[in-house]
Amino acid sequence: MYKIYREISNSAKFPLAISRGSEKQRFNKAKAMTNLVAKKMDSYNSNIWNVKCLNYFLHETVDKYKINFDILPEINEKYYGSVGTKLDVISYNSIRDFMKNKTGIELPNIPIFKKPCIHIKLNGFEIKIKLKKDGATIDDKYTAIHEIRHFFDHLLNPKLSTNRSSDIFKYPKEYSAKFESIYMGVYKKFTEEYKIKSMKEFKKNIKKEMSVLPCELRIVLLQGIRSRLKLENNAYSHELRARCKNPIKNMRRIIHNYLFVKNNLQIKAKLNFVNEYLEELIAAERKNISKNNH
C-alpha cells in the first residue's frame, strides 16, 4: 500500500466561488460556459472553426483564473479528440516541500514513512482536437464542443475528474493491470469487435472480472467509473444538442450520434448498473463491518 498525497493545483480548477453548489449546478455552469464559447466561435464563423480562434476564446474565458491548458492537434487516427491531464507524480523528496508549503511542518530529510509515498499533482489540461490537413481548421466543430464541455466539467468538478488517476496508486501493483482492464472494459462499445452482445452479458463480464479484487477496491473502481460515465454523458448530450441546432444539415450525423450513444455506448444503462452494483457492495461492506464489530 502506498501513502498518497493528492493535490489539485489552482491552475487545474476554478476557485470555489465559481465551483460552489450541487453537482447539478456545476454541470449547468459547465454547460453555460461551453455554450458561451461556442456562441463566440459561431459569431466569428459558424461554418469553419479555427483552432487559433478557439484558443483565444478559451483563454479569454479562463485566463483570469490562471488555468493552465494547451490545445494540441489530435494525431491518433482513432480519436476525434480528448482531454488529458498534466499530471505530476512525485515521490518522497518533493512531499517535504509540499508539506512545508501547505502546513508549515518540516519533515526530516530521511524517509520517515515505512511505506512508499506518492505525491500526485494535477497541474492542468491538454485539449486535443482533430484538425484538417491545413493544421488550422477544426475538423468537426461539434466534436470540439464535446471536448470543450469536458474541459469545463473538469475545471468545475476536480474531484470527479481526478478520481481515477490517483486512486490506483493506493493499491498493490498486481491489481493495477486488472484495474485498467476493467476500467477500459466499461467503455467498450457493443460492437462485433468486442463480442459483447447484450447488457446482461456486459454485467456478467464486469462482475466476473471484479471478483478477484477486494471489496474496497471494487468500490473505488466503480466510483471512478461512475464519474467518467457521468462526464461522458454530459459531453455526448451536449454534442448532440449542438448538432440538433442545425437539423437539416446535420441529419446524418445526428442519427449516427444518437444511435451510437444509445446502442453502442449505452452510457445510461451502464450508469444504472454501476449505481446498483455500488449500492450492493456498500451494503455488503457495512454488514461486514458491523459483523466484525460484534
Contact (CB, 8 A) for 57 and 35: no
Quote the least distance from Cβ 231 to Zn ion, whole Å.
7
Name the residue number minimizing CB distance to Zn ion. 235
229 touches Zn ion (CB under 5 A): no
CA angle 8, 65, 45 (to 5 degrees): 115
C-alpha cell at 86: 498534466
Quote the least distance from Cβ 10 to Zn ion, whole Å.
25
CB nearer to Zn ion: pick between 128 and 218: 128
**Which of these ranges, 70-78, 127-135, 234-242, 253-261, lies near Zn ion under the rule CB under 5 A?**
234-242
Q: Is 258 exposed, middle or buried (0-12, 13-18, 19+ CB in 10 A)?
A: middle
242 touches Zn ion (CB under 5 A): no
CA distance 262 to 269: 9
Quote the least distance from Cβ 93 to Zn ion, whole Å.
36
CA atoms within 13 A on the CB side of 150: 27
CB nearer to Zn ion: pick between 217 and 261: 261
What are the Cα distances from residue 249, in Å, to 129, 142, 220, 277?
A: 22, 13, 43, 41
Nearest to 169 by CA among 215, 212, 121: 121
- Three-state helix/strand/coil letters over 113-136: CCCCEEEEEEEEEEEEECECCCCC
Quote the least distance from Cβ 184 to Zn ion, whole Å.
14
Count of residues in contact with Zn ion, rule CB under 5 A: 1
CB nearer to Zn ion: pick between 41 and 235: 235
Quote the least distance from Cβ 82 to Zn ion, whole Å.
7
30 touches Zn ion (CB under 5 A): no
CB nearer to Zn ion: pick between 33 and 235: 235
Any idea of the CA torsion for 229, 232, 234, 237, to the nearest 10 degrees?
A: -120
| Residue at grid coordinates 480519436 | 79
* Contact track, Zn ion, 109-148, x by CB under 5 A: ----------------------------------------
CB nearer to Zn ion: pick between 69 and 169: 69
Q: Which residue from 51, 67, 235, 261 is in contact with Zn ion, where contact means CB under 5 A?
A: 235
| Residue at grid coordinates 472494459 | 185
Interface ranges with Zn ion (CB under 5 A)? 235
